[in-house]
Amino acid sequence: DQQVKQNSPSLSVQEGRISILNCDYTNSMFDYFLWYKKYPAEGPTFLISISSIKDKNEDGRFTVFLNKSAKHLSLHIVPSQPGDSAVYFCAASNVQGAQKLVFGQGTRLTINP
């Protein structure tokens, strides 16, 4: 039962353009969502998060949007830079229930110069 899904295994974007990574979830109890970024041979690093009481959170070039009715979140990176090339994981949890983080399968983003 894949509760968090990233349906695009890979995405290629030109430098300077917007990158949009998508994530869908099925568990309506999830109330906290995160994006992690992973470079090869390194562990995932936290990027940005959003609580279910919000529909948008912005941090510099990174913005996460949450659509609770559609059970969908997305990460926007603008402008995209070569250093953004990595695997991006979305994750979700039920904070009130102190539940564990559930990760998606990841999307490999490649920024082309």
Partner 1 sequence: EAGVVQSPRYKIIEKKQPVAFWCNPISGHNTLYWYLQNLGQGPELLIRYENEEAVDDSQLPKDRFSAERLKGVDSTLKIQPAELGDSAVYLCASSLLAGGTDTQYFGPGTRLTVL
Interacting positions 10-29 with partner 1 (CB under 8 A): none
The answer to whether residue 41 forms part of the interface with partner 1 (CB under 8 A) is: yes
Which one among 13, 35, 93, 109 touches partner 1, defined by CB under 8 A? 93
The answer to whether residue 4 forms part of the interface with partner 1 (CB under 8 A) is: yes
Nearer to partner 1 among residue 17 and residue 100 (C-beta): 100
Q: Positive or negative CA dihedral for 90, 73, 50, 111?
A: positive
The answer to whether residue 62 forms part of the interface with partner 1 (CB under 8 A) is: no
DSSP state of 104: -
* CB atoms near residue 6 (< 10 Å): 19
